[in-house]
Structure 1
Amino acid sequence: MGPWFRVAAVGGLLCVGFGAFAAHGITDPKAQEWLKTGALYGFVHVLAVFAAGQRSGRGASLAPPLFLAGLVLFSGSLWAMGLGAPRWLGAITPLGGLAFMAGWAALAWSRPRS
């Protein structure tokens, strides 16, 4: 799995931290929603990085960087807004969603290396 393992582990740490902060450290309902959504989607895709690492083939090797790009763009933009960043940052969020989707597509069409 290479370097993606460590990056995904850090992503998992961030997801748990932001999810806990949303639940216990912030009172604004919109900010809580952004933080929780970012944590949920991020954590699912961190786990997907670990699962993709168990497969071989070209599509499987493309999936981890796409999932992690989605984590940065999707979850990261939501977390930033939850912490007070300007709302225009939400324009980046769909790009992260597209990266998540591209990662799943890469896995769907992956073929084992021969």
Structure 2
Amino acid sequence: MVAQIFGAAFGLLAVILGAFGAHALKKKFTVDQQQSFETGVRYQMYHAIVLIGIGELYKDVALFQTISILFIVGVILFSFSIYGLCLSSAFGRKLRFLGPITPLGGLFLVIGWALLLYQVLSK
């Protein structure tokens, strides 16, 4: 259930942030910032869909709870640090401390996908 709640919330926010980035921030962002912001939205949406699927199909499998947590934390660290970097840079005060957080979030996502692959292959 937690995976589905986060999946739905991440999906909702991805649509809102995607529209916000494409329209309201279009004149404020550089091309690179726009592309980075879109990457954050895209990865967030991918994982929203996966979380909903995992939450529905594997409610009682402990490994899938771990995978869900890795995806949730990974999205928060990866996508939201990208949003913070892009927004802070666009408004003249780049929050550089967020830079190292992005790859850490990516690592959580990679570990989640590796565990998912392991689970599928072990059946």
Q: For the superposition of Structure 1 and Structure 2, which TM-score range results when normalised by the shorter chain?
A: 0.7 to 0.9
- What is the deviation of 1:93? 0.2
Indicate the larger mover: 35-44 or 52-61: 52-61
Shift of 1:86: 1.4
Equivalent positions of 1:31-42 (< 5 A) are: 31-42=33-44
Q: Could you say which residue in structure 1 is the equivalent of 2:52?
A: 50
Q: TM-score normalised to the size of structure 1?
A: 0.85
CA distance in 2, matches of 1:65, 1:95: 14
Cross-structure match for 1:62: 66
Distance in 2, matches of 1:109 and 1:50, equals 20
**Where does structure 1 lack aligned partners over 5 or more consecutive residues?**
none
Distance in 2 separating the partners of 1:58 and 1:107: 12
Residues 67-76 or 13-22, more deviating: 13-22
2:101 and 2:36 map into 1 onto residues whose CA distance is 14
1:1-114 paired onto structure 2 within 5 Å: 2-26=1-25, 27=27, 28=29, 29-53=31-55, 54-55=57-58, 56-84=60-88, 85-110=94-119
For structure 2, list consecutive stretches of 5 or more residues without a partner in the other structure.
89-93
- SS of the counterpart of 1:83? helix
Offset from partner CA, 1:78-107 (integer Å, 9 cap, x none):
011121141331210001101111111121
Moved over 4 A (4+): none
Please tell me whether the aligned partners of residues 30 and 82 of structure 1 are also in contact (alpha carbons under 8 angstroms): no
The separation in 1 between residues aligned to 2:101 and 2:16, in whole angstroms, is 22
What is the percent sequence identity of the aligned residues?
Answer: 35
TM-fit CA distance, 1:45: 0.8
CA distance in 2, matches of 1:109, 1:64: 14
TM-score, normalised via structure 2 length = 0.80
1:22 CA drift (Å): 1.7
User: Which one has a bigger Cα radius of gyration?
Assistant: 2
User: How far has the Cα of 1:35 moved from its partner?
Assistant: 1.5
Taking only aligned residues, the RMSD between alpha carbons, in angstroms, comes to 1.6
